[in-house]
Amino acid sequence: MVRQFFLCALAAVAAELLPVGHSYAQAPDTVQLAPVTVSAPRYTRYAAGARVQAVDTLLLQRQPGITLADVLQQRSPLYLKSNGNGMLATVAFRGTSSSHTAVLWNGFNIALPTLGMSDFALLPPSANTQVSLQHGPSGALHGSGAVGGAVLLENPVSFAPQQRVQVQQELGSFGQRRTAATGSFANGRLALSSSFTRTASDNDFRYRNTTAFGSPRETLQNAAFHQNSFAQEIHYKISQAQRLSVRGWYVKTHRQIQPSMGSANTHAQQDDENLRLMSEWQGRLAGGTTTVRAAYFKDRLDYRNNASLATVDSLSFSTVGTYQSQVEHERTLLPNLMLQLGAEGQLFKAHVSGYGGKVEEQRFSTYAWLRYDPLPTLQLSLNVRQAWVQGFNPPLTPTLGTNLSLWQDQGNSLTLKANVSRSYRVPTLNDRFWRPGGNPALKPEGGWGYEGGLQHQYRSGSLTGSTELTGYALQVKDWIQWQRSTEGNYSEPVNLQKVRGHGLELDSRWHYQMEETWILSGGAAYAYTISQQKLPNAQAQLQARQLFYVPKHKMAAWAEVRYKSWWLTTDATFTGRRFTDNDNNHWLPAYPLVNAGLGKTFTWRSFETQLLAQVLNASNTIYQTLAYRAMPPRNFRLSVSLRWAAPQP
């Protein structure tokens, strides 16, 4: 379902402040965890006025194999909708749906082309991945699907000489186990990194089945899973001006599908296999930087349940091959004017049981991104993208954004941000080709977003902080929804809804270092979200209703204290009431969720051992993120990792 850098997309004015973000991203666990050299994400300088937030990468470094679903749950104000622990998990920005969230991996959209969304439980990023969240539409930068927002996964290139190896083993409640091994090497010319993780769980926790006669306590059935992930990167510096990179990411997941409480256990199983390969050549030529990328993805999703007794499709096989390429050229036209031109092509080859045959679709788009700083305190970006899709053409999607530095002194800076952006979403392959129902003539969805915000940065001695307040309005037209066909007893997609939303987002992060021994850091993010469509009420009058599974209030907060080799980390989220149907008949009550962990590092020469004990759902809250899908009660995890790093010369 689903479907999105750095600190604030403020390349210039905030340049001196960027280390605030880095202090989160890279505050070294110990002296040995060398800082990652950050090459600015390619979008950042063209995202003036947009809200782009880096996610704490320490989580990924400490717990390799943790999925994006877990990361976002603990570190973002986004609502994560999950069918259960390790099950299908989707994320939506600003009151849109999972299919309005674009997920890009090093510049390529990796949403499943059949469903048009990403399952965040199937995305265990490797340890050196940097995760950023683009809140709000950004069709010009990120293409189809970036209607509500985008999750950006980047693996930055660094040739700084280093050699590192890390192995980790984690054990937890309900049969949770995770093994990880990562290694990296760089010698100034060649950089290699490999990462392997295996995560599994029996998920056989006890819960109260509130849908059954007598509300008995039961053991969760049919919810075990295991997942293997392997990621490899090779970067080669051909010359000072040229670089070649190859990246591969393979994830294989087998899941039993946790049934809804009150529904028959049909022993459903799903096998996913996601192979992603890409190569990238970048060279400084003719006064500019040219980048050529090519990628091949293969996504397999096979589902089956107790075929003989089921009344719905009990077998579904789908394999999609995606071929993508991008060519980009960026050059500085004037000292304060920068231009990037690009073009991309995508070819999808789908073998899906529901399509009744092979289906191919081609999509192209070209884009131009302009960044202009007319004054030292004023940054403007103007981006446009035009896409062409086999059969129809999405609209031209422009974005205009600005950052205006209002005030700056020794420790403080205040920046005003504003952004207007258009977005689009091409119908998914299922929307177009599923039989029966699929409609090749569906219109793409389109949306507009308007936002404005204030950002405050503080830096004084050992205290740094960043606070951002954003208000926005959003609308999506021709929202595609599957509904009962007028022709027969099946569903079909139609351009049905118009959804309007508005909201507020507040985000604040702080970092304080006291002498050498104490480090305090923490942050909080809050989102107020209104997202409505009009539906008939019992009197058949159209009434604005909050979209289902969009909480009005969501808050996430986290804090970490480090003292010498010890650290204590906690995070807490509060999620408001969520309606579970579009008629707003039913809802899930608000709930808090608290996690905590205690870690200790032992160092001996070039070796380092890390012990980490965690309690998840510490308050033992009974909650659901998707109605009637049981979620784990209080549970524990214990991990040990061993690292070795070559001494720095």
Partner 1 sequence: MKPNSLKKYFLYLLVGSGTFLATSCEGDNEDNTPKGAYEHGVFITNEGNFGTPTAEVSYLSPDAKTLIPELFKTVNSRPLGDAAQSLTFLDDKAYIAVNNSEKIEVVNAFTFASVGVINGLKIPRYMAALHSTKAYVTEYVGYDFFGYTGTGRVSVLDLTTNTVTKTINVGLLPEGLLIHNGKLYVANSAGNTISVINTTTDVVEATITVGDSPKHLVLDANNKIWVLRGGYSSAGALIRIDPANNHALTTYTFPQGPNGAGQLTTNGAKNTLVFSYGGKIYSMATSATALPTTALINRNPYGLGVDPEKGTLYFGVGGYSTNGWVVRYQPSGTVIDSFQVRILPNGFTFR
Among 217, 539, 605, 647, binds partner 1 (CB under 8 A): 539
How many residues bind to partner 1 according to rule CB under 8 A? 38
Considering the rule CB under 8 A, would residue 627 count as an interface residue with partner 1? yes
Of residues 437 and 453, the one with the C-beta less far from partner 1 = 437
From CA 89, how far away is CA 569, in angstroms rounded? 24
Among 535, 559, 596, 646, binds partner 1 (CB under 8 A): 535
Of residues 315 and 640, the one with the C-beta less far from partner 1 = 315
Considering the rule CB under 8 A, would residue 213 count as an interface residue with partner 1? yes
Task: Report residue 279 as tokens.
Answer: 């190569």
Considering the rule CB under 8 A, would residue 309 count as an interface residue with partner 1? yes
Residue 321's DSSP bridge partners are 298, 349
Give the nearest distance from C-beta 312 to partner 1 in angstroms: 6
Of residues 239 and 489, the one with the C-beta less far from partner 1 = 489
The owner of tokens 């379902």 is 1
From CA 440, how far away is CA 435, in angstroms rounded? 11
Of residues 314 and 386, the one with the C-beta less far from partner 1 = 314
x/- string (CB under 8 A) for partner 1, residues 245-274?
A: ---------------xxxxx----------
Give CA angle at 261 (74, 98), nearest 5°.
45
Name which of 524, 491, 530 is nearest 510 in CA terms. Answer: 524
DSSP code, position 2: -
Give the nearest distance from C-beta 553 to partner 1 in angstroms: 24
Burial 10-38 (b: 16+ CB within 10 A, else e): bbbbbeebbebbbbbbbbebeebbbebeb
Give the nearest distance from C-beta 427 to partner 1 in angstroms: 19
Give CA angle at 140 (138, 146), nearest 5°.
35
> Interface residues for partner 1 in 572-601 (CB under 8 A)?
581-583, 585-586
From CA 207, how far away is CA 631, in angstroms rounded? 8
CA distance to 241, 266, 310, 327, per residue, from 289 (Å) = 9, 55, 56, 11
| Among 331-339, 416-424, 472-480, 484-492, the segment contacting partner 1 (CB under 8 A) | 484-492
Considering the rule CB under 8 A, would residue 215 count as an interface residue with partner 1? yes
Considering the rule CB under 8 A, would residue 302 count as an interface residue with partner 1? no
Of residues 537 and 620, the one with the C-beta less far from partner 1 = 537
Among 311, 410, 515, 516, binds partner 1 (CB under 8 A): 311
| Among 72-80, 208-216, 325-333, 593-601, the segment contacting partner 1 (CB under 8 A) | 208-216
CA torsion angle 455 461 462 466 (round to 10) = 0
Considering the rule CB under 8 A, would residue 221 count as an interface residue with partner 1? no
H or E segment and range at residue 71? helix 68-75
Considering the rule CB under 8 A, would residue 210 count as an interface residue with partner 1? yes
Of residues 593 and 626, the one with the C-beta less far from partner 1 = 626
Of residues 307 and 568, the one with the C-beta less far from partner 1 = 307
Among 15, 238, 241, 315, binds partner 1 (CB under 8 A): 315
Considering the rule CB under 8 A, would residue 604 count as an interface residue with partner 1? no
From CA 418, how far away is CA 400, in angstroms rounded? 8
Residue 637: HSE in the Cβ half-sphere, 13 Å Cα cutoff: 25
H or E segment and range at residue 137? none
From CA 431, how far away is CA 492, in angstroms rounded? 8
Task: Report residue 210 as tokens.
Answer: 């509130």
Considering the rule CB under 8 A, would residue 222 count as an interface residue with partner 1? no
From CA 228, how far away is CA 226, in angstroms rounded? 7
Of residues 267 and 298, the one with the C-beta less far from partner 1 = 267
Give the nearest distance from C-beta 214 to partner 1 in angstroms: 8
Task: Report residue 434 as tokens.
Answer: 């599923």
> Interface residues for partner 1 in 491-530 (CB under 8 A)?
491
Point out which residues bind partner 1 (CB under 8 A): 210-213, 215, 260-264, 307-312, 314-315, 482-484, 489, 491, 535-542, 581-583, 585-586, 627-628
